[in-house]
Structure formats: C-alpha cells, structure tokens
A and B are shown apart, each in its own frame.
Chain A
Amino acid sequence: MSGTNNGKEAWGSRIGVILAVMGSAVGLGNFLRFPGLAAQYEGGAFMVPYFVSLLILGLPLAWVEWSLGRYGGSQGHNSTPGIYLAVWKNRIAPYCGVLAIIIPVMIYMYYVYIEGWCLAYSLRYLFGHMNYGADPLAYENFFCDFVGIEGDGAALSTPGVGPFGSAVLFTVVCFIINFILIYRGLSKGIEWFCRWAMPLLIVCAILVLIRVLTLGTPDSKLPEQNLLNGLGHMWNFDVTSATFRKSLCNPQMWLAAAGQIFFSLSVGFGIVITYSSYLRKNDDIALSSLTASAGNEFCEVVLGGMIIVPAGFIFLGKAFVENPPSTFTLGFVTLPNVFNQMIFGQAIGFLFFFLLFLAAVTSSLSMLQPAIALLEEGLGLRRKASVAMLGFITAVGAAFVVYFSKGLLALDTIDFWIGTFCIFVLATFQVILFGWVLGIDRGFEELNRGAEIRIPRFVKFIIKYVSPTYLLVIFGFWVHQEFFKVSETPDKLTRLQQIRESSVVQLSLGFIVAVFILFVLLVSQSTKRWRAADQTKKEVAS
C-alpha cells in the first residue's frame, strides 16, 4: 500500500520538526486562554489539575500521536485516514480519520479570523493608532466595531475603523500568507517559517516579560497594586486553606484544565499524527515529543503565566481579579487598556500582538497540512490542485464565520463542537487505538524504536488504563455540564437550548455536517484508490 506522494515530502532536520510541532502547539491558547483560566480559577489552585492533566493526558497522548503517525508513515501513509487504516485493518478505520481532518480544517476557518485581528492590532500599535486614552469602554467599542459583534455582516460592511481598521482585510492577508507557505511544502514552507518564527516569538515574549517584571508599583497612590501581589495572585495558594480544598473539588476546574492541555499541546487535533508521519522509521520520537511539549509548556507557564495576569492586576487591581474577563475580552480589550497605562506601552503592545500573530501563523499552518496530506495521498492531487481545493473550502468557511459575526456566535458554535467536543472524541479514539487495537506492547515497541530517552514502563499502564478512563470521566462531566446543567445566569442558554432557538447556531451545525460529508466522500474515494493500489501490488507480486 502506498500513497502517491510517498517518499516525496519530509522534514529537513530534527530541530525543524521539533520547532514545527512546537509551533503548532504554541498559539493563542498559551498567551490568552491559559492566563484567563488561571485567573478565573484562583491562580495557584488551577495549576494542580493542570499539571495532573499534563502528566496523565498531555504527555502520553503526545507520545501516542507521534507513534501512530510514524507507524503510518512507515506504511506509506501521511493522511490520518490512511494511518488509521494501517493500524486498524477495518473498513471503518479510515472514516474515523475524517474527524482528524475536519477538526484542524474547521478550526482554521475561525482561527485565521483571529490571526487577522492580531496582525491588525500589532500594526495599529506600530503606527500609533491604538491610543484610546484611559476609558476602558473606548477599547471595547473599537473591538466590537472591528470584528462586527453588533450584527451579522457588520464586519463586511464596515469600511474599517481608521487606519488598519478592517478585520476582513487582515484576515485575507493572513489567509494568503498561510497558503503561500503551505504551497511551498513541508520543509520549505512550514519548517522554514517555524525555524525563524519560533525563536522570534520567544524573544518578543521575553522582552514583554522583562517589561512586566520591571513594573514595580506604577501608581504610588495604590501601593497594593504591585508586581509581587500580581504574581502572587497568579501563582500563590495555601494548601491548608478551605478555599483551596473547595477549588480542588470543583469538577469544572478539572474540565477546564484538561481542555487547556488538549488545546495547548495540539493533541487530539490530528496534527501531530500527520507531522510525525513524515519521519523515518528509526527516527527518535520519544525525546522529540517531550522536547516539543516542554517548549510549549515553557511558553505557556513561564511566558504566558507571568505576563498577562500580573500586568492586569497591577493596572486594573481588584476589578480584574473579581471579574476576570473572557479570553477575547482579555486579549483585545483589557490588555490594550493595560498597555496604554504602561510606560513604553506602544512598543510592548506591538511586540505582544506581533508574537500572538506569529504564534497564530505557526498554528494555522499545521491545521492545513492534514487535509493537504489527504488530498495529495488519497486523491493523487498535485500541490497546486490540493492547495486550490483546500483554499476554496476554508475560504467558504472563513467567510461564513466572518459574516455571522453577531456576538461571534458562528465562531463560538464551531469552536464548541469542533474545537472542544470533537477533540475529546478523537483523543479518546486515538488512545484506545494505540493501547487496545495496535496493542500496548506493540505500541510501546514502536514508541521506543530509535528512542534517545528511556520511557518508564509505568507509562504503558497510564496509556492503556488511566488516560482512557480519565478522558471518559472528564467527557461525561463535560457533557452533563454543557448540555443538561441549567446555568446560574438566567439569560445564558444551554447548548441544546441554543440549537433550538438560534438560527445561526443551526446554520453553523449544518455547515459542520456539510464539511463532514464532503470529507467522508473524499475519504471514500481515497480508500478505493488505496485498495486498487494494494490489488495491483498483489498481482505484481504473484
């Protein structure tokens, strides 16, 4: 069995593949979502479920994906449906891989929109167009106008809020940049970009961090709003306190921590499995996977965790602590207000949004590669055709998200069903595929081949029993919370109520189903080609 593109594309170097996987993992989640969750769940207490999830979900699942990918690659497959078929000789196996294609493709459809916001904000800071004074409402008004929150189609009809004021224009620019890089291929596109973007991103983050760590007490009239208290709010916890114990018993915090680990490490997305399929049979995956995960954790915990919450606390004080903003509000409303009050705020604002832009590009590139791999390997398309076809599909999706911008409802719906629900399902499927279908002993043998570090034997037990159980329990709680638990806020609808009452939610779900069916058909066609290729091989051999 062989793919049409087998042996053509590959990584150029080991550092390159590590940086590409790290680039895929490091994204908006590291610098916005993680600090937002930490602030919401009382800082230090959140780190307990976070690190537990990292150890029993994040790292094992990353090893699982790297192993499955390299195994599939050694059998001639780079697309997830092909890789699943190589592992599980069953008719339905490639169709399970549809999920691993539509997750990154559909996340890309809204991610590129946010990527456009980051690029626009960084340029606005660079040219001094983000100074709205001390009024927090001014930043909120700008953001709402910019992304078209007020009504469907508002983002399209708005000519732009001053210079660099059109979110749509920047989304198109980002879209073109992404597809140029994807067209250049794995080594000359993704790897080349990640090799300089990742170090640059870390340098920008360190510069912003240095500024935050030298803030001291900016307002002598408010001595309690200082750096140490800001760091303390983010990190401190008292194990003997009742509040800490109560926090630890909160299932929502454990759900949020597990979700953050998925989102952050890009496990359960179908990305790492595709990337690792381009490795050679005896290349190390154990150390490479751990290094990419450690790099991601460094960006998240050290850089992401020490910038936003302390800075927000120092300038906004108790208002920030008592009413922590949502991810988008934190990034695009609260932070510009904070930067405005900071000395060198314009430069820091530019650096921060530029690093977000770089992080978003490295992540969005990785979201396109799984579908490119399917189109080229499964349908035998050339690069121009595969890029054009994927470009069309994602352009339609991005236009859908941009048009239905009222309350960012289309974005939120796709994020919920694809970016959360499907990720849980795919992660559970993959860990079972590795531990129970491929077999834990065979899987571990695959993981250890060419390994440059020794993976402890208890990881076998974790992958086979602990990770699936933990995933299923968390998933059960999560389904109950999202679908059946009535919110304490009266105007907040459950997901089922949203489906019944909102036409945009219904349309978004219809769109997800349409994309799903499209990729089922493509996988069906690919499966026929793989079978035909197998048959030809057998005939030649006989």
Chain B
Amino acid sequence: MLAAVGGVTALLSWCIYKVISIPGSTEHIHSQADIETPDIEDD
C-alpha cells in the first residue's frame, strides 16, 4: 500500500512542482485574451 500510494503521491507532487516552478507557464495564455464562441461574437 505504501509503495502504491506513496509512489503516486510523489509523482503527482513532482509534476505539480515542475509545472508551477516554470515561470509564467501556469497562466500562459494560448491565444487571444478573450475567447468567444462564434455565436456570442455575432451577438
């Protein structure tokens, strides 16, 4: 139990650490700041 639970928890913790430790990557905007669906744009 300890190996499975500990291993999975350690993997997730490491991944979260890597994701948040890279500057600017967590809230990195992938395209336009305000994305609308096509219909909403029309309105």
Interface residues of A (CB under 8 A from B): 5, 7-15, 17-18, 44, 47, 51, 183-188, 231, 234-236, 278-280, 283-284, 287-288, 290-291, 294-295, 297-298, 301-302, 305-306, 376, 382-384, 452-453
Q: A185-B35, A452-B22 are in contact. Are A13 and B9 (CB under 8 A)?
A: no
Asked if residues A14 and B26 are in contact (CB atoms below 8 Å), the reply is yes
Contacts of B30 in A (CB 8 A): 10-13, 17, 278-280, 283
Could you tell me the distance in whole angstroms from the C-beta of A274 to the nearest C-beta in chain B?
A: 15
Minimal beta-carbon separation of B7 from chain A (angstroms): 8
Contact for B12 among A17, A183, A236, A295, CB less than 8 A: A295
Q: Please, how many angstroms separate the alpha-carbon atoms of A142 and B36 in the complex? A: 44
A306 touches B35 (CB 8 A): no
Q: Which of A17, A51, A288, A295 contacts B4 (CB 8 A)?
A: A51
Q: State how many angstroms separate the Cβ of A52 from the closest Cβ of chain B.
A: 13
| Chain A binding surface, main DSSP class | helix
Residues of chain A contacted by B1 (CB below 8 angstroms): 44, 231, 234-236
- Do residues A15 and B35 form an inter-chain contact, with CB atoms below 8 A? no
Q: In whole angstroms, how far apart are the Cα atoms of A47 and B6 in the complex?
A: 14
In this complex, what residue of B is CB-closest to A287? B18
How many Å lie between the Cα of A291 and that of B25 in the bound state? 14
On whether the beta carbons of A47 and B4 are closer than 8 Å, the reply is yes
Contact with B26, one of A9, A13, A294, A453 (Cβ below 8 angstroms):
A13
B interface with A by C-beta (< 8 Å): 1, 4-5, 8-9, 11-12, 15-16, 18-19, 22, 25-32, 35-40, 42
Q: Which of A9, A14, A51 has the most CB of B within 10 A?
A: A14
Please give the distance in Å from A53's CB to the nearest CB on chain B: 14
Which residue of chain A lies nearest to B31 when distances are taken between CB atoms in the complex? A10
Which of B4, B19, B39, B40 interacts with A18 by CB under 8 Å? B19
A9 with B9: in contact, given A15-B27, A231-B1, A453-B18 (CB under 8 Å)?
no
Contacts between the two chains (Cβ within 8 Å), count: 99
Distance (Å) between the CB of B16 and the closest chain A CB? 7
Can you give 28 contacting A-B residue pairs, CB < 8 Å? A5-B38, A7-B31, A9-B35, A10-B32, A11-B30, A13-B28, A14-B26, A14-B28, A15-B27, A17-B30, A183-B37, A188-B35, A188-B37, A234-B1, A236-B1, A280-B30, A283-B28, A283-B30, A290-B15, A291-B15, A291-B19, A294-B12, A298-B9, A301-B8, A305-B5, A376-B38, A383-B40, A453-B18
Q: How far is the CA of A234 from the CA of B2 in the complex (A)?
A: 12
Asked if B35 and A382 sit within 8 Å, CB to CB, the answer is: no
> What residues of B have a CB within 8 angstroms of the CB of A301 in the complex?
4-5, 8
Q: Identify 7 new A-B residue pairs, CB closer than 8 A, beyond the known A9-B35, A291-B19, A453-B18.
A: A10-B35, A14-B19, A14-B25, A14-B26, A294-B11, A382-B42, A452-B18
Contact partner of A382 among B25, B29, B38, CB < 8 A? B38
On whether A302 and B35 interact (CB within 8 A), knowing A12-B29, A235-B1, A287-B15, the answer reads no
What residues of A have a CB within 8 angstroms of the CB of B32 in the complex? 10
Of all chain A residues, the one with the shortest Cβ separation from B41 is: A8
Instruction: Give the contacting residue for A298; candidates B8, B18, B28; CB below 8 A.
Output: B8
- Closest chain B CB from A303 CB (angstroms): 10
- B5 x A297 contact (CB < 8 A): no
In the complex with contacts A235-B1, A298-B12, A452-B18, A284-B25 CB distance below 8 A: yes
Chain B residue nearest in CB terms to A384: B39
Q: Least Cβ distance of B21 to chain A in Å? A: 10
Question: Of the candidates A15, A186, A280, which one forms a contact with B19 in the assembled complex, judged by CB atoms under 8 Å apart?
Answer: A15
Q: Name the residue among B25, B31, B32, B37 with the largest chain A CB count within 10 angstroms.
A: B37
When distances are taken between beta carbons in the complex, the residues of chain A under 8 Å from B42 are: 382
**Contact, CB under 8 Å: A306 / B5:** yes
Closest chain A residue to B6 by CB distance?
A302
Contacts of B12 in A (CB 8 A): 291, 294-295, 297-298
- Least Cβ distance of B40 to chain A in Å? 8
Cβ contacts under 8 Å, B38 to chain A: 5, 8, 376, 382-383
- A8's contact among B4, B5, B18, B35, by CB below 8 Å, is which? B35
Instruction: Select from chain A the residue with minimum beta-carbon distance to B42.
Output: A382
- A298–B16 alpha-carbon span in the complex (Å): 12
A184 touches B37 (CB 8 A): yes
Which residues of chain B have C-beta atoms less than 8 A from A231's C-beta?
Answer: 1
CB nearest to A18 among chain B residues? B19
A424 to B15, CA, bound (A): 28
Tell me, in angstroms, the Cα distance from A301 to B12 when the chains sit together: 12
